[in-house]
Structures are given as structure tokens and as C-alpha cells.
Amino acid sequence: QVQRTYNFNAGPSALPISVLEKAQEELIDFRGTGMSVMELSHRSKAYEDVHNQAIASLKELLSIPDTHEVLFLQGGASLQFSMIPMNFLQTGKKAGYVMTGSWSEKAFTEAKLFGEVYHAASTKEGNYRSIPTLDQLQYNSTDAYLHLTSNNTIYGTQWKDFPDTGDVPLIADMSSDILSKPIDVSKFALIYAGAQKNLGPSGVTVVIIRKDLLEQAHTAIPTMLKYSTHSKNNSLYNTPPTFGIYMLGEVLNWVRELGGLSAIAEQNEKKANLIYETIDASNGFYIGHATPDSRSLMNLTFNLASKDLEKKFLEQAKQSGFVGVNGHRSIGGCRVSAYNAVPVEACQAFKEFMIQFQTENS
């Protein structure tokens, strides 16, 4: 048995060991084809099955209604920051952006290039420690859309409820919490996520789009950047990231075998609680960044009382085999990313490390 490390990377991040083993097993001869998935034509029946099965699994696990469809795109969540306003903002209407962190800021900055955007709410003044309450959101019923970031990977906050926006299309960047719990997809006009946290390796971007939105899109944009191009071609307009889609399909099978999204959600709560209860019981030795009601179950952010102590903590964490605990380079501090594939034992081991470090340093 190979020694696997405790991987708390923020993305790309831990993948289920059984998925890696299956990929290894199938690498040289994929299901009797005499080649790997990577070597299959994307027009072959063998690949098409992989592709369509991944779409079907995602629909099943997220209970995606028939009003919506799944697209596999490239360019990461970052290209969605541009594609969304390109397709839906250039209609003379405005779009509201809920500002809850660096990724919302990036999405907003990009959208400004294409039309009129404004802050529908912002928690920047409070150093992005929280998610606005639903009654703090201010947007217009005539807007092109309202955009939010469901989980803030850097600050460690997460939406618990989503607004009912009526006729205003609700768009969410779910890069860092998609597939971590059941969600009501029907509330959203468009959901997007880079795969490299809960879904698989980097390279695929999942988009779940309400079909009627496709008809409202602006048309004078490059072919590859139109959602309708990919929709009309079952995400096979050009060569898709075939290996990434295969891995995504296997991750989805793993989630199904674990009992689906309710089972995953329960496990994620358990993992996050192990760390949050340690922070809360530390008498201020560990200082959580997010306000308790906005805490993310995916990215658990905290600080120590001084920069020196924090540095020592991070060094010892690394020496003890915990990888990826450093906060994002933009804000520093500590961050444990406990995505779906991070086992409960990893969080339990880190909890014990935190308690021991506190005992030795206070």
C-alpha cells in the first residue's frame, strides 16, 4: 500500500483513491479497446459512452430537471467570468453581482467589459467574513441576471440558502462546493464550476444551463464562446478534455456508491465540524476567519494570534505530513480544504495536530 499524504489543497485537490486505482487499472487498455481513454477518438462510440454517461450521472446526482442541460467546456471557471456577460449582458440590461470575495471581484471586473454591472450586495467592508443575508440583496426585476459565488474558496464562506429571484436569472459560480450537498438546481438559470475541487482533475468546466436562456443569448460573439454552440453539439463541437471527463464520470460513480449527495453532505459536515469545534474550543488560540453563520464546509480558514506563531504552525503542519494548509497567497493565514474526497480521518488527524500544537505553544 502506497503512503498517501493528507491533502488539503484548495484545487487541484484530493481525488478518491478508488477512482485513481480504477483509472490506473484501465489506463493501458480501456475496456477492451486496446488503448487508453486519452488515445480514443472523441468521435468513437467508446468515448461517446463515457461522455454521455458522465452527463447522465451528473443529472441524476444533482437532480437536474429537464429544463436544464449539462455542458462540458474548457477555459476554467475564469472563462465563465467572460462568457456569461458576453452571452447575456450585451442586451442593454444590467446585471447585479453579489460581492463575497476575490472570485466575485474577478467575475465583476470581467463583466464590466461587456455592459453595466453593479454590486447587489458586498461584504468587503467586513473583510469578506460573511455572506449577505437574503434581505440585503438589492437588484432590479428587469436585470439580465444576478450573479453570486456559492462558496468563497479564499475567505472560507459559503451560502446556506439561495434567493428566489423570480424572473431574474440567477447565476452561480459553484466551483468550490458543487456536488458537496444537494441543491435545488431549478432556482438557477446557470451554474458553473471548474472541475478541480469536487469533480475531478482540472481541464473540464461544468456548466448547467436553463435551456430557455440559450435563446436569449447575444449572437455576435466567437463560436467557441457561445453556449449555444456547445449545446447544439452535446459539448462535442471541438475536442473536449476527454480524460478529464472520464475522471469526472468515475468521481460521480464514487459519489453514487457512497450514497449520493445527502451522504456526502453529512460526511462534509462531520469533517468541517472536527476543525471548527477545535477552533471554537481553543479560547482564541485559533481565530476563525468566517462568522459562524457563514462558515464554509469546504474551505476552513483561520489565523493564529501572531504572524510568528502562524508561521511555526504552518511549518510544523507541513513537517507532520499535512499538505496545502497555507492560506491563499493573497491573504495568507491557514486554510484546510476538506473537499468531498478528503477522508474524515484526515480531518481527525489534523484536529489532533491542532490540539497538540496549542498545548505545546500556550
- 173 φ, ψ to 5°? -85, 105
Specify the stretch interacting with ligand PMP by CB under 6 A; choose among 35-43, 125-133, 173-181, 309-317: 173-181
The secondary element (H helix, E strand) that includes residue 357 is helix 344-360
Among 110, 173, 250, 310, indicate the residue that binds ligand PMP (CB under 6 A).
Answer: 173
Which residue out of 143, 173, 254, 351 is catalytically annotated?
173
Q: Could you tell me the smallest distance in angstroms from the CB atom of residue 299 to ligand PMP?
A: 8
Among 7, 157, 165, 176, indicate the residue that binds ligand PMP (CB under 6 A).
Answer: 176
**103 is an active site residue:** yes
Q: Could you tell me the smallest distance in angstroms from the CB atom of residue 331 to ligand PMP?
A: 13
- Among positions 125-164, residues that touch ligand PMP (CB under 6 A) are 149, 153
- CA proximity to 304, closest of 283, 318, 321, 322: 283
Nearer to ligand PMP (CB atom), residue 15 or residue 354: 15
Which residue out of 59, 197, 271, 351 is catalytically annotated?
197
Identity at 296, one-letter amino acid code:
S
Specify the stretch interacting with ligand PMP by CB under 6 A; choose among 76-84, 240-248, 278-286, 309-317: 76-84
- For residue 333, state whether it binds ligand PMP (rule: CB under 6 A): no
Nearer to ligand PMP (CB atom), residue 76 or residue 201: 76
Among 9, 123, 175, 242, indicate the residue that binds ligand PMP (CB under 6 A).
Answer: 175
Angle, helices 307-319 vs 344-360, to 10°: value is: 130
- 291 φ, ψ to 5°? -70, 145
Q: Could you tell me the smallest distance in angstroms from the CB atom of residue 78 to ligand PMP?
A: 3
Q: Could you tell me the smallest distance in angstroms from the CB atom of residue 241 to ligand PMP?
A: 12
Among 33, 78, 234, 316, indicate the residue that binds ligand PMP (CB under 6 A).
Answer: 78
SS3 label, residue 147: strand
Residue number closest to ligand PMP, CB atom: 76
Tell me how far apart the alpha carbons of residues 215 and 258 are, in angstroms, rounded to a whole number: 38
**22 is an active site residue:** no
Tell me how far apart the alpha carbons of residues 97 and 84 are, in angstroms, rounded to a whole number: 12
Q: How far is CA 26 from the centre of its chain?
A: 27
Residue 285 near residue 358 (C-beta atoms within 8 A): yes
Specify the stretch interacting with ligand PMP by CB under 6 A; choose among 85-93, 158-166, 168-176, 217-225: 168-176
Dihedral sign computed on CA atoms, order 348, 180, 289, 334:
positive
**197 is an active site residue:** yes
- For residue 200, state whether it binds ligand PMP (rule: CB under 6 A): no
Q: Could you tell me the smallest distance in angstroms from the CB atom of residue 202 to ligand PMP?
A: 7
Q: How far is CA 200 from the centre of its chain?
A: 11
Tell me how far apart the alpha carbons of residues 300 and 330 are, in angstroms, rounded to a whole number: 16
What is each CA distance from 290 to 188, 276, 280, 285, in whole angstroms?
25, 10, 12, 15
Among 11, 200, 201, 327, indicate the residue that binds ligand PMP (CB under 6 A).
Answer: 11
Extract the C-alpha cell encoding 90: 450585451
Specify the stretch interacting with ligand PMP by CB under 6 A; choose among 28-36, 155-163, 170-178, 285-293: 170-178
- For residue 77, state whether it binds ligand PMP (rule: CB under 6 A): yes
- For residue 203, state whether it binds ligand PMP (rule: CB under 6 A): no
- For residue 99, state whether it binds ligand PMP (rule: CB under 6 A): no
Strands of the chain, DSSP E: 6-7, 68-73, 94-99, 116-122, 145-149, 151-152, 157-158, 170-173, 190-194, 205-210, 286-288, 299-304, 322-323, 334-337
Nearer to ligand PMP (CB atom), residue 45 or residue 329: 329
Catalytic residues: 103, 173, 197
Q: Which residues bind ligand PMP (CB under 6 A)?
A: 11, 76-78, 103, 149, 153, 173, 175-176, 194
